Amino acid sequence: MKTQVEKQGIVTLTDEVAAELSTSSLWNEDLRPTTFAEHSWKGINFATLWIGMCLCIPAYTMASGMITLGMNWWQAIGTIFIGNVIVLIPILLNSHAGTKFGIPYPVFARLWFGDKGAHIPAMARAIVAAGWFGINTWIGTGAIDTLLAASFSGWANLPGHTAIIFALFWLLNVGVAYKGPQAIKVLGAISAPVVGVSAIILLIWAFTRSGGWGPILETPSKFETTGAFLKVFFPALTGVIAFWATLALNIPDFCRYARNQKSQMVAQTLSLPLTMSIFSFIGIAVSSATIVIFGEALWDPVQLIAKFPPFVIFLGTVVIVLSSLTINVGANVVAPARAIENLNPRRITFAMGALITGLFAILLQPWYIMSNFGNYIFGWLGTYGALLGPIDGIAIADYWLVRKRQMSLKELYDPNGRYSYSSGYNKNGIYALIIGVLIPALGLVVAPLHFLWENAWTVGLFISIIAYTYLMREDKSVLKAGEYEQITSVDTAVPPSNDQSSQPGISQ
């Protein structure tokens, strides 16, 4: 029986099967596979999404930490570029599954962990994202608060002024996220050009006002040997990779709307590493120029903008709000909202998941976390890559090596289907995750193996790929030769010349 249709590389359910599954406990309007018409995102939408997320305060200041550690400007930019090229690989590999089968991340996770076991990787990603959501909301609050204090002399004396800004900015973030991925698509289209042009204007101002680039770009590297450089390079590289390791997992949440594989792959390949590298360079160049202009290096764009006249401060505040909103909603709300929704698809919607995410972020008390920033960065955030790397590896191994890009879309929504495994859990996935986490963790207790922990994301990814592929070599959930063709009807019809598929059709 044909249960799915493949057209131009996109697989969708037949109308009959979709109607049959609509009453399944694993199905709702947000988690169901997208229809062919809903594959409406063009390459430009993915480019603006990534540009909008990359143009943020953490990306602007990323290279500053590397320069503090002794790198010169081009070593820092090179590290950032290489790290983003590396993390781009799992992003593109997982994007393929989302694009071809139109499924969000929690449903994709059912493939390798089972319909109940999928809560393990989904919630692991969600906890990290909710933590980042609260932190970015607090960072954005601080930026807005500082700029308002610089514009209005009485603002700093207003009781509870920071709490007021936090509440309003939190509501804005949750409100946009409440509208779903289609709202994020529009937000990215607005934010990317506004923040991008603002960054270029800031760069031109810095160059002309200082009469050059300043001393930072002329400062040589402090490393006298290659070995000394590599001791700093690899931990820094892992940090760069971890910056977007979260999106490498739940990128199917966005790519399920892609028109085709080529558009999303080209757009993401060009936009992510280039935007991160260029924006980091702007941060270095402008900060270098501020030494000449103000007598000190201002790595924080908020502190820099606060030195301008009130009208410029107002424009800068708008830009920072757009920047903070784009990365926070795009990178830190979609994943936990989908994970929460997947806990009970019949009762919890994406909008409810977004609201719960916002409330959970408040319970994590980001103001307390940021008051002890050093311990936070080197504690919890320093270790989440060790958890997400193995999950990334399992996802890649399952889709590309075990199943070879073939699956039964229908059975992902069937509680008694082949992907329910044993009582809803794929033990092989759980075993591979444990192995992928424990081996890098040896570096914490065995001094000569500390390099394993310093490269925990990369080591865990490869270990889990090997372990999972071996454990799944004869698993019954894998389609047998010819079985994919038996359940799939291939539509070879030529698409109409009027591009109706570009119209939004996402139901939220």
Name the pTM for this structure.
Answer: 0.88
All residues at 6 or more sequence positions from 471 whose CB lies less than 8 Å from its CB, including other chains: 428, 431, 432
CATH architecture for the domain at 4-494: Orthogonal Bundle (1.10)
Q: What is the pLDDT of residue 85?
A: 97
Length of the chain as a residue count: 508
For residue 234, the number of C-alpha atoms closer than 13 Å in the C-beta half-sphere is 15
Q: How are strands ordered across the β-sheet holding 10-13? A: 10-13, 4-7, 488-491
Coil, strand or helix at 211: coil
Token readout for 15 is 């109308």
Strands 10-13 and 4-7: antiparallel
Q: What is the pLDDT along the chain (508 residues), one digit of tens a residue?
A: 899 999 999 999 999 999 999 999 999 998 999 999 999 999 999 999 999 889 888 888 888 878 888 899 999 999 999 999 999 999 999 999 999 999 999 999 999 999 999 999 998 888 888 888 888 888 889 888 988 998 888 998 999 999 999 999 999 999 888 887 777 778 888 888 999 999 999 999 989 998 888 888 888 899 999 999 998 898 888 888 888 888 999 999 999 999 999 999 999 999 999 999 999 999 999 988 998 899 888 888 888 888 888 888 889 888 888 888 888 888 888 888 888 999 999 889 888 998 999 998 898 788 776 665 554 555 555 577 788 899 999 999 999 999 999 999 999 999 999 999 999 999 999 999 999 999 999 999 999 998 898 888 899 999 999 999 999 999 999 999 999 999 999 988 755 544 444 333 333 2
CA distance 24 to 12: 17
As a 3-state breakdown, the chain gives helix, strand, coil percent values, each rounded to 5, of 70, 5, 25
Q: What is the pLDDT of residue 43?
A: 96
Q: What is the pLDDT of residue 500?
A: 42
All residues at 6 or more sequence positions from 80 whose CB lies less than 8 Å from its CB, including other chains: 62, 63, 66, 240, 276, 277, 280
Q: What is the pLDDT of residue 7?
A: 95
The total of other beta-carbon atoms located within 10 Å of residue 120's CB is 18
The total of other beta-carbon atoms located within 10 Å of residue 51's CB is 26
Token readout for 9 is 């590389």
CA distance 65 to 284: 11
All residues at 6 or more sequence positions from 251 whose CB lies less than 8 Å from its CB, including other chains: 91, 94, 95, 98, 105
Helix 427-445 vs helix 119-151: crossing angle, to nearest 10: 60
CA distance 397 to 381: 25
**In this structure, which amino acid lies at residue 206?**
A
For residue 379, the number of C-alpha atoms closer than 13 Å in the C-beta half-sphere is 7
Q: What are the tens digits of pLDDT across the range 246-268?
A: 899 999 999 999 999 999 999 99
**In this structure, which amino acid lies at residue 109?**
A
CB 102 within 8 A of CB 38: yes
CA angle centred on 218, ends 212 and 224, rounded to 5°: 175
The owner of tokens 């909710």 is: 130
Q: What is the pLDDT of residue 188?
A: 81
CB 139 within 8 A of CB 146: no
| Exposed/middle/buried for residue 309 (C-beta within 10 Å: 0-12, 13-18, 19+) | exposed
Q: What is the pLDDT of residue 234?
A: 86
**Residue boundaries of the structural domains of the chain:** 4-494
Phi then psi for residue 377, to 5 deg, are -65, -45
CA distance 455 to 442: 12
Q: What is the pLDDT of residue 57?
A: 83
The total of other beta-carbon atoms located within 10 Å of residue 141's CB is 22
User: H/E element holding 156?
Assistant: none
